[in-house]
A = this chain, B = another copy of it.
């Protein structure tokens, strides 16, 4: 114990020398604030030091030092993650990128931006808007999450049905490798096939392969103000029919969200919004195509909803009224939070043809567990967020809640889906990863990890478990 402390003292002093004392935090009362993300039920360690570098060179210095001393490093941004991917490792370094927060360039002529990882998603959105451009990825935490975190997790959001996910906007990266070397991937051009797609390898790798210190991101033309549609249905099968018809008819709304009965009632209880409490599901859709095209898209959606037997369909091109309609969707999680002391927020993506089957399956799981499970989801891309509500102080309810959480993942896989559509694996689902990808893929993951981080110092234990005995986390 004394020896460990002595070793720690040595590298912490080196860290302070490298970054300056105001960039290294060691007081446990202070470092505790950096110990975990928003996955409150996932275990987290306590970092021996929190490093707040201001430059790529400082990140490189931290990783050289960590490599030399075999200290685990957990990179993180604002900590808005939902799977514990940024949770600290006991005695390790938590590397906080929030001070590297410059938008280095916005180029209208090449329709791209160059950013540091600590830039808040909304800051880039605003900077792009200033040039008549648009950065689509919009995780729910867009006004406080950082782009570095978005990149590490390959974040999605409401925009994905039309605009895809974070990875679809990454042209190139600067990455500091485990040994401190600085790698540049990708390019500034739209197209390019020179070498392996290392950019995509790092995006979504949850900080286990390198630390992203700069990103070149593609931007899009600014969309038009949205036209919004809301429709309610007596059965979830009817909403499933609409989703399937949207896909087969080739409609591409800019948003297509679903809420189940549990969420509708929870929101209505909270907001007194006069929602249809008997509805089985509510669909919310938007078109941002503008003018006649948006009108035609919303008309086509209205027709699909009516043909599926909607009890109620309403649309508006008034952005303020549209925003008000969207409030019901935005308040779904806060409304569920009021129903129990704890939430387990799941994140399963299923093929779009399976959305209704999945919602019905969650209702069955809720009945079996004797718990409330509310389902909201990005119906347009099949990414569903069933949320298990329970009393975390009740051991029996807690056991049932975790069983329900697992049953939801099992259901998703059985429908040809994935255990995570956009939140990531982190620590929360590391044991589930192999269930989805199988032993061959797991061994390839480990081989790639070992090629880039042979000592296993980068975010150990996240995404998948290390092989026992391999690297610092073994």
- In Å, the complex CA distance between A423 and B194 comes to 9
Which listed residue, B153, B200, B382, B438, touches A191 by the CB 8 Å rule?
B382
Task: Give Cα A227 to B204, complex, Å.
Answer: 39
Interface assignment of A122: CB less than 8 Å from any CB of chain B: no
Q: Which of A320-337 contact B (CB under 8 A)?
A: none
In the complex formed, the residue of B with least CB distance to A109 is B353
List residues of A (416-474) whose CB comes within 8 Å of B's CBs: 416-425, 429, 433, 436-438, 440-441, 444-445, 447-448, 450-452, 463-464
A201 in contact with B201 (CB, 8 Å): yes
B423 touches A349 (CB 8 A): no
Interface string of A369-381 (1 = CB under 8 A from B): 0000000001001
Q: Which of B108, B183, B383 makes the CB contact (< 8 A) with A441?
A: B183
| Residues on the B chain within 8 Å of A420, using CB | 192-194
Q: Once the chains bind, are A191 and B383 in contact (CB under 8 Å)?
A: yes
The answer to the question of A154 belonging to the interface, with a C-beta cut-off of 8 Å to chain B, is yes
Count contacts on A: residues with CB < 8 A to the other chain. 86
Report the minimum CB–CB distance from A433 to chain B (whole Å): 6
**Known contacts A187-B418, A451-B451; is-contact A194 B350 (Cβ 8 Å):** no
Write 29 A-B pairs (CB below 8 A) sorted by A numbering.
A109-B247, A110-B247, A110-B351, A156-B191, A161-B190, A165-B191, A168-B168, A183-B441, A184-B438, A185-B441, A187-B416, A187-B417, A189-B351, A190-B382, A191-B378, A191-B381, A191-B383, A194-B418, A195-B436, A195-B463, A196-B448, A198-B445, A200-B201, A201-B201, A201-B448, A221-B250, A221-B251, A292-B292, A293-B293
Which residues does chain B contribute within 8 Å of A189, judged by CB atoms? Answer: 349-351, 381-383, 416-418, 421
Instruction: Check if A160 sits within 8 Å of B191, measured CB to CB.
Output: yes
B-side contacts of A183, CB under 8 Å: 440-441, 444
- A248 close to chain B: CB less than 8 A: yes
A99 within 8 A of B: no
Max chain B C-beta neighbours (<10 A), residue from A197, A201, A292, A421: A197
Nearest Cβ in chain B — how far from A173, in angstroms?
11
Instruction: Give the nearest-CB partner of A203 in chain B.
Output: B197
- A181 lies within 8 A of chain B by Cβ: yes
A116 at the interface (CB under 8 A from B): no
Tell me if A194 and B451 are in contact (CB < 8 A): no
Instruction: Report yes or no: B192 in contact with A444, Cβ–Cβ below 8 A.
Output: no
Say if the beta carbon of A132 comes within 8 Å of chain B. yes
> Apart from A190-B383, A193-B418, A448-B452, what are 10 other A-B pairs with CB-CB below 8 Å?
A189-B416, A192-B418, A195-B433, A195-B436, A197-B201, A197-B203, A197-B205, A198-B445, A292-B292, A448-B448
Q: Which of B111, B156, B182, B444 contacts A198 (CB 8 A)?
A: B444
Please give me the residue from chain B that is nearest to A221 by CB atom.
B250
A273 lies within 8 A of chain B by Cβ: no
| Chain A interface (Cβ < 8 Å from any Cβ of B) | 107-111, 132-133, 153-154, 156, 160-161, 165, 167-168, 177, 181-185, 187-198, 200-201, 203-205, 209, 220-222, 244, 247-252, 292-293, 349-353, 378, 381-383, 416-425, 429, 433, 436-438, 440-441, 444-445, 447-448, 450-452, 463-464
Give complex CA distance A422, B416 in Å.
32
Shortest 3 CB-CB contacts between residues of A and residues of B: A221-B250, A200-B200, A109-B353
Measured in the bound complex, the distance between the Cα atoms of B177 and A425 in whole Å is 25
Give the CA-CA distance A349 to B171 in the complex, in Å: 13
Residues of chain B within 8 A (CB-CB) of A451 are 447-448, 450-451
CA distance A381 to B110 in the complex (A): 10
Residues of B near A165 (CB, < 8 A) are: 191, 193
Q: Is the CB of B425 within 8 A of A193?
A: yes
**Residue pair A194, B250 in contact (C-beta under 8 Å):** no
Listed residue (A191, A249, A250, A382) with the most chain B CB atoms within 10 angstroms of its CB? A191
Determine the residue in chain B with the shortest Cβ distance to A187: B418
Interchain CA distance A167-B193 in the complex, whole Å = 10
- Chain B proximity of A175: nearest CB distance (Å): 9
Chain B residues closer than 8 Å to A191, beta-carbon distance:
156, 160, 165, 349, 378, 381-383, 418, 421-422
